[in-house]
Copies of this chain bind each other. A is one copy, B any other.
Amino acid sequence: MRIYGDSRSGNCLKVQWTADFLGLPSEWIEVDIMSGGSRTPEFLAMNPAGQVPTVVLTDGRPLAQSNAIILHLAEGSALIPEDAYDRAKMLEWMFWEQYSHEPAVAVARFRVAYLGETHEGLDPKLKERTWAALQRLEDGLAHGRPFLVGDTVSLADVALVAYTRLSHEGGFERTGYPRVQAWIGRVEQALGIG
């Protein structure tokens, strides 16, 4: 499998971590999104949406959307709970990540760390949504279990740790979120990253 990704992107790293955890051979091809690397004719032929990550599977077929890719790679593995309700809760977290968490936490981090904006100068609504996403995770971990959907690491953790662990790069320190901070450590250890 070839992974076309930008190594600064949490969405792209999710795919690499999942492949490595599952022992799937992969080749990383760096795509610089800042200089239009995901908008070339060659790239758009693989993914007309022009987004990273995009993978080319071993049979040559392309696949996009980080969470769709990791769900495909991890089918039948321990990263997807066997229980139907747990699996549904994992998907709930993954769709929430793309709809409510990533567009806040990742966008704020991108603006500060890559566009050179200041944390103080960020749109107040973006800041409010970022803090709310961290709080939602803190509350979601109040169940007293080590991972989001239970006792073992799942794709919900893979998807949500990717940008949560980088929130400070956007000026969002996690000192007020002790459960989140401890969970990041557990997920990094389980995945062998960090």
Residues of A59-89 at the interface with B, using a CB-CB cut-off of 8 Å, are 61, 63-69, 71-72, 75, 84-85, 87-89
Report the copy number of this chain in the oligomer: 2
Among residues of B, the one whose C-beta sits closest to the C-beta of A72 is B88
Q: Does A13 sit within 8 A of B, measured CB to CB?
A: no
Q: Which of B48, B94, B96, B140 contacts A139 (CB 8 A)?
A: B48
Q: Does A152 sit within 8 A of B, measured CB to CB?
A: no
Binds B, one of A34-42, A97-105, A120-128, A170-178: A97-105
Task: Determine if A136 and B48 form an interchain contact, defined as CB atoms under 8 angstroms apart.
Answer: yes
Among residues of B, the one whose C-beta sits closest to the C-beta of A142 is B48
Task: Determine if A63 and B89 form an interchain contact, defined as CB atoms under 8 angstroms apart.
Answer: yes
Q: Which of B57, B88, B99 contacts A99 (CB 8 A)?
A: B99
Give the most central of A51, A66, A99: most B CB within 10 Å. Answer: A99
Residues in chain B near residue A67, CB distance under 8 A? 91, 95
Task: Determine if A103 and B103 form an interchain contact, defined as CB atoms under 8 angstroms apart.
Answer: yes
Residues in chain B near residue A102, CB distance under 8 A? 99
Task: Determine if A92 and B75 form an interchain contact, defined as CB atoms under 8 angstroms apart.
Answer: no
Q: Give the Cβ gap from A107 to chain B, nearest Cβ, in Å.
A: 12
* A-B CB proximity, top 5 nearest: A68-B91, A72-B88, A65-B95, A68-B92, A65-B92
Given A51-B100, A63-B85, A63-B88, 12 new contacts (CB under 8 A): A48-B140, A49-B136, A57-B85, A61-B85, A64-B96, A67-B91, A68-B88, A68-B94, A72-B84, A72-B85, A72-B87, A99-B99
